[in-house]
A and B are shown apart, each in its own frame.
Chain A
Amino acid sequence: MTDVTFRIFRGEREIGDFKEYHVTLSEGMVVLDAIHHIQAHDAHDLAVRWNCKAGKCGSCSAEVNGKPRLMCMTRMDMLPLDQPITVEPMRRFPHIRDLVTDVSFNYGVNKRIPPLKPQPRRADGTHRMQQKDIDRIQEFHKCIECFLCQDVCHVMRDHKVTDFAGPRFLMRCASLAMHPLDTVNRLEQLKDEFKIGYCNITKCCTEVCPENIQITDNAIIPMKERVAGGFYDPLAWLLRLITGRKAGERRPSV
């Protein structure tokens, strides 16, 4: 079987270096298997965050050969094995140790999103929703919060904008705004607090999403349109003046 060289970032709080390890591949191996092999044999204290090893929990995010990926879903036979494979932590987030970063920023943003406030139930005790009306939100609910989209987004990564919510949370706002039962107006927050306008739809987030969610096309662009329609459309502005409704306010359900 093939012997592969790994170059893994080892260190604490950004200070460290790439160290080389060698692993003999077996069939079907993924990058996380190799990391575990190194941990069990050569570096017992190699820090890595992981849980399910099935692409469902989104814990083992890292940059493999410079690309943000889930290590558990990156098969070794997809990578060029004749050269060393580099594995390093997500670069957007503060470094803790080896492959582990501090992702608490994301939990902070999430907490600022007001929860769903549903319409009352029907007299028979049910909420009725048609499958076709929830299909697109179910796509957003596939998100496993691996934060790879947050890692790759150049607004935060290169321009270091800290008051931008990032693709994950713009999409979560979208999933609430498009929820058939929700009664909260979310447009002002998207525009003023989460700065949806900063996104210039380069779609890097969509490209790295391990769940193949069309973050830009299906979530961010429609919300940008709603914000633009709500705040910058002169006709809508006039209508608001007449009706006294705020931008993005839902019509009372009939």
Chain B
Amino acid sequence: MDYEIHEHDVIVIGAGGAGLRAAIEASSQGVSVGLICKSLLGKAHTVMAEGGMAAALSNTDSRDSWEVHFRDTMRGGKMMNNWKMVKLFAQEAPARVNELEEWGALFDRTPDGRILQRNFGGHRFPRLAHVGDRTGLEMIRTLQNHGIHQGIDVYMECTIVDLLKDGDRIAGAFGYWRESGKYVMFRAKSVVLATGGIGKCYRITSNSWEGTGDGHALALRAGASLIDMEFVQFHPTGMVWPPSVRGLLVTEGVRGEGGILKNNKGERFMFKYIPEMFAAETADSEEEGKRWLNGDKNARRPPELLTRDVVARSIRAEKLAGRGTPHGGAFLDIASQRPADYIQRKLPSMYHQFKQLGNLDITKVPMEVGPTCHYVMGGVQVDPETASSSVPGLFAAGEVAGGLHGGNRLGGNSLTDLLVFGRRAGLGAAQYAKSLATMPKAHPDQVRAVEHTANLPFEDTGKENPYQVFQDLQVCMEEHSGIVRTGKELEKGLEEIATLKNRSTRLKVEGNRMYNPGWHSALDLRNLLAVSEAITLSALHRKESRGGHTREDFQDSSKEFAKVNTRVWLKNGTLAWEHIPHQDMPPELKKLLD
């Protein structure tokens, strides 16, 4: 074996918000840290986050507190959340935001010079610290520019193919350099997965090419469990026209700043779709919505700010009833609600995005929007305190971890999640690494097997085009595991995934390993297939509708399923599943939920 080898106490896979925060924390514990980025540093999907980061700073509304944030997050997650994680999250969020400011982030300000907070779906009070509509960029750049001075070794454009183990323990990771295609081995005592999401399983998605579920699949193959994989968030407002930008995100900030949703009859339809659970805190007339917009604190929030699952389903229902827009979505109108200069100041990148890509001035006319695959609530099952998985030495944080968001994530909770649990994972991984006296070692056979898998697409036996199999998988997931599901469709989906898996063993890639996107797609496909199967299998066995999981054959939420999470794991190479009961919530937290 003649590989390039790097050795660290901790390696972090993924350099978005969670990965960077984990690396910074681990490094501050005095251990050696390697940070592996699939792309260039600073380009991860975190840059796409727009609206803001939720934290009960209570700057904009003094009635806010961690308790209300806890309540909103649990209710938004339809009580599927791991309450221990939610508690830590809500309590630690303000400190993480302040820390980011200390490192150079410049949030928009209140008139008295503090951090300004904006309204967002499912949050009772204005809670999102933000920078116009480019909060993610501010966050990743701040972490990046802080992180490069913390003694972390950064490996850019490096993709991990598989994790390595020494017995039960993590021993490192094996991957390739994008540029040269050469293989590289990382020896490490602990590994933090911070690889983000899975959006590329679907055809219409807000995710970049990187969202191929790498960490979810790496964890499965290394023996860890995934939970809540049936809960996939379809963001209600993606662009629907022109085709080349279909799925591209339109920030919830548009609705947070007062934007309203209308059908092709000009009707503001969200008033028809207010779930009972949220009726008491949602405006029931356009008149009350108007008062809320004008800052009346006694007015309740307009129904456009209901949770994402509710709004996405409503837009879909309007379209199916024949009340959709010309390109099959809904109208999102801020032009009639706010003056042009306000829109340009608070939503500059949305203005820019529509002007440049859609030939449309959002300060004058409504946008056309529809649901787009945005986020997976499910992920690696972790310990709330340390972010450790069931595999010793393997940690996970951010979108790749499960538990915090339950059945549906609130907008603005993701960016804070990255910081709170990125930090905890970095700390957990560093402490674990310190507890090991010697560096674990993977057996050479294991490394050779990974290399063999990676080389397969170049062998002459295959003839399948990886791009084609990739596209077929996306269509399969859209049709069978999409925004509304049935048992029959899900079963069909599992069959098709099995066929696609088979085809994926016969891929054919041209050229050599040097910067070869065809080959990269072939390897990403392996992860996408694993994740798609996990989603579909989990969805099949949750026979109810809840949050980001809607079943046409079981339209209501059920008491029986209210008490369990779905866990999937690999058992002798086959995906197994079970329902695991929730842990009892202490009475002082239960009290907060009403």
Q: State whether the Cβ of B221 lies closer than 8 Å to any Cβ in chain A.
A: no
Name B513-543 residues within 8 Å CB distance of A. 514-519
Checking A28, A40, A44, A57 against B510 with a beta-carbon cut-off of 8 angstroms, the contacting residue is A44
A161 to B70, CA, bound (A): 55
**1/0 contact string of A17-47 vs chain B (CB within 8 Å):** 0000000001111100100000110001111
**Interface magnitude class on chain B:** 35 or more
Which DSSP category, helix, strand, loop or mixed, fits chain A's interface? loop
- Asked if A125 contacts B98 (CB within 8 A), the reply is yes
Residues of A within 8 A of B179 (CB): 96-97, 100
A111 to B243, CA, bound (A): 40
Closest chain-A Cβ to B142's Cβ sits at a distance in Å of 9
- Asked if A45 contacts B48 (CB within 8 A), the reply is no
Which residue of chain A lies nearest to B146 when distances are taken between CB atoms in the complex?
A115
Closest chain-A Cβ to B208's Cβ sits at a distance in Å of 5
Closest chain-A Cβ to B115's Cβ sits at a distance in Å of 8
Q: State whether the Cβ of B311 lies closer than 8 Å to any Cβ in chain A.
A: no
Residues of A within 8 A of B137 (CB): 56, 141-142, 144
Closest chain-B Cβ to A204's Cβ sits at a distance in Å of 21
Which residue of chain A lies nearest to B49 when distances are taken between CB atoms in the complex?
A56
- Asked if A47 contacts B516 (CB within 8 A), the reply is yes
Q: State whether the Cβ of B352 lies closer than 8 Å to any Cβ in chain A.
A: yes
Q: State whether the Cβ of A239 lies closer than 8 Å to any Cβ in chain B.
A: no
Binding site for A on B (CB under 8 A): 39-45, 47-48, 98, 101-104, 106, 108-109, 112-115, 131-132, 134, 137-138, 141, 145-146, 148-149, 179, 208-210, 241-245, 248-249, 348-349, 352-353, 356-358, 465-467, 509-512, 514-519
A58 to B40, CA, bound (A): 10
A143 to B137, CA, bound (A): 9
- Asked if B248 contacts A54 (CB within 8 A), the reply is yes
Closest chain-A Cβ to B24's Cβ sits at a distance in Å of 12
A116 to B101, CA, bound (A): 10
A238 to B101, CA, bound (A): 37
- Asked if A103 contacts B101 (CB within 8 A), the reply is no
User: For A116, A125, A130, which residue has the most chain B Cβ atoms within 10 angstroms?
Assistant: A116
Closest chain-A Cβ to B125's Cβ sits at a distance in Å of 18
- Asked if A59 contacts B39 (CB within 8 A), the reply is yes
User: For A12, A47, A110, which residue has the most chain B Cβ atoms within 10 angstroms?
Assistant: A47
Q: Can you show 26 pairs from A to B with CB atoms below 8 A apart? A: A27-B244, A28-B243, A28-B357, A39-B467, A39-B517, A44-B510, A44-B511, A45-B512, A46-B517, A51-B39, A51-B209, A51-B210, A52-B45, A52-B208, A53-B208, A53-B248, A55-B356, A57-B47, A98-B515, A100-B515, A115-B103, A115-B145, A116-B103, A129-B113, A130-B109, A179-B106
A52 to B146, CA, bound (A): 23
Q: State whether the Cβ of A156 lies closer than 8 Å to any Cβ in chain B.
A: no
- Asked if B108 contacts A110 (CB within 8 A), the reply is no
Checking A26, A129, A145, A176 against B109 with a beta-carbon cut-off of 8 angstroms, the contacting residue is A129
Taking A97-B515, A141-B141 as known contacts, 18 extra A-B pairs with beta carbons closer than 8 A to each other, sorted by chain A number, are A27-B243, A44-B465, A44-B466, A44-B467, A44-B517, A47-B517, A52-B43, A54-B245, A54-B353, A56-B48, A59-B39, A107-B41, A115-B103, A118-B104, A127-B113, A129-B109, A144-B47, A144-B137
Closest chain-B Cβ to A37's Cβ sits at a distance in Å of 10
- Asked if A57 contacts B357 (CB within 8 A), the reply is no
Q: State whether the Cβ of A73 lies closer than 8 Å to any Cβ in chain B.
A: yes
- Asked if B148 contacts A142 (CB within 8 A), the reply is no
Q: State whether the Cβ of A131 lies closer than 8 Å to any Cβ in chain B.
A: yes
- Asked if B517 contacts A110 (CB within 8 A), the reply is no
Residues of A within 8 A of B467 (CB): 39-40, 44
